Amino acid sequence: MTTPMTTTPTPTPATGAKALPHPPLRRQPALLRRIFTDPQPVLDELAAAHGPMYSLGAGPVRMAVVGDPVALRELFAMPIDDFKWGHKFNVLGFVVGAQSIIVSDGDDHRRRRAPVQTAFARRRLNGWIPMIVDRTDAAIDRVIADLDGNSKQIDMYEVGRSLVLEIAIRSLFGERLAARSEEIGALFQRPQDYLESPAVKQFPHPIPGTKRAKVRADRRAIDAIIDDQIAHLRAHPSDDPLDVLGSLVADGELSDDEIRDQVATLIGAGYDTTSASLSWMFWRASQTDGLWPRLRAEADDVLGSPTEERTHGPKALAALDLADRTMRETTRLHPAGVVSPREAAVDVVVGGYRIPEGTLILWSAHLAGRDERAWTDPLRFDPDRFVDPDPAQQALADIAWVPFGRGVRNCIGFALARMELTLIIARIAQRLDVTAPTSDVPRPVGMVVNRPTGGAPMLVRARAAW
């Protein structure tokens, strides 16, 4: 007897909701293993067989994948207390701290998120624009010095990583910790690598000398740096702090322990995600015919030459339309979070399917970003698809673009990441010729953060003439 590819959804008389389709049980152990190591091919394969919503696993390890744009809109609008982020599979708390907003629920989450959201107010973000352009210029200057008049293969992923970290440290702490950004980056490296290791290796234990113990020590070293800064701010309060930590301390709503966990969270959540997206941008922008010169022309027009003493503000950012569309198209096809987890705290119905309490819901920006109903020729990289879109498709495309989530638990760093990616690609396109070594799109790697395998080793040369 052959096992059917999928079970037929069974209507539930009480609600009219169906059970999710799922692959045969015998295939599940292998699928579960793969989804936690190399998620994208499995997500695509199962979506092709069952549609963009299906279940996996059983018992305490049961999951529901939600990649249907209409169902996602429903999910993001549902009461937040129907879901839990502090669930048994959330390994992030070990690194970012038990009081981080990322693992908090209910009133704790509301209370902890509010001051962080205030710290990311538009006025403060706009104040960071000149700093982002300035740090990008400094990073480009270092690349040009390294090129020494030649063209050379440079890993633009590494260039982007230290730049993104510098920007994060300056926006979180102002200039005070700018000189220590490399040290802070090094302290975050082991915890980030640990989070990408197989789940079994992350089993909680207190054994000294192990990776887990070393990660704990790294976190203590990060805490000591943050504590120093909190003490400094209490001793020298500022009326209008431009940095996030200053805002959190001045706000007075959170305890020092809570502030420390939010700061570690903001570095952790913003560093790898933004630098991974930037490296996908280097690949896609350099592989797409004619895009690099167009980005350069737009940036020349809007930003002017780096030797001009211009201070850029929100108007310049808004005028970088092609750079912004390039960032939107990159994050559509390569969202940093391929799936994002939350647990159903009660029985819920999403997209007409019943999802029982205790199920881990993996909502997928990857599946929604490649949905054929929402996007014409979804695998084609085309930043111009956002210009005058087909009105019939527009509404669906709007709800299918979710690389930063939506609703009450959306990404707090969305505006910052969008601003960084737009300004950085614009300035780099202006000042460097960047050529991809191949026309093949690299394989993605990473369960927590999706990045191109092998980084972004590009052939780089300084722009010849202005």
Q: Which among 265, 240, 264 has a CA at the least distance from the CA of 251?
A: 240
Contact present, 171 and 416 (Cβ < 8 Å):
yes
- Please, which residue, 333 or 461, has the CB nearer to ligand HEM? 333
Residue 244 Cβ, how far from ligand HEM at the closest point, in Å? Answer: 8
246 binds ligand HEM (CB under 6 A): no
Q: Give least dist CB 363 to ligand HEM, A.
A: 7
Q: Report d(CA 160, CA 185) in Å as an integer.
A: 13
Kindly report the number of other CB atoms within 10 A of residue 14's CB atom.
8
| 66 counts as binding ligand HEM under rule CB under 6 A | no
Q: Are 192 and 268 in contact (CB under 8 A)?
A: yes
Tell the residue number behind the tokens 């052939």, with chain if given: 459
Q: Does residue 422 touch ligand HEM according to CB under 6 A?
A: no
In sequence order, which residues have a C-beta less than 8 Å from that of residue 25 and are 6 or more positions away?
A: 58
* End-to-end CA gap in the chain: 71
The whole-angstrom separation of Cα 326 and Cα 322 is: 6
Out of 46, 53, 269, 302, point to the residue binding ligand HEM (CB under 6 A): 269
Interaction of residue 241 with ligand HEM, rule CB under 6 A: no
- 394 or 410, CB closer to ligand HEM? 410
Interface mask (CB under 6 A) for ligand HEM, residues 277-296, using x and -?
x-------------------
CB of 353 to ligand HEM, least distance (A): 19
- Which of 99, 273, 288, 430 contacts ligand HEM by CB under 6 A? 273
Alpha-carbon distance values, 90 to 86, 247, 437 (Å): 6, 28, 37
Stretch that binds ligand HEM, among 140-148, 191-199, 408-416, 457-465 (CB under 6 A): 408-416
Q: Is 350 in the site for ligand HEM (CB under 6 A)?
A: no
Site for ligand HEM in 108-167 (CB under 6 A): 113
Please enumerate in sequence order all residues whose Cβ is within 8 A of that of 144, keeping only pairs 6 or more positions apart, or say none.
Answer: 431, 432, 462
**Residue 22 CA neighbour count, 13 Å, CB half:** 23
Binding of ligand HEM at residue 97 (CB under 6 A)?
Answer: no
Residues lying near ligand HEM in the complex (CB under 6 A) are found at 101-102, 113, 265-266, 269-270, 273-274, 277, 331, 335-337, 340, 342, 403-405, 409-413, 416-417
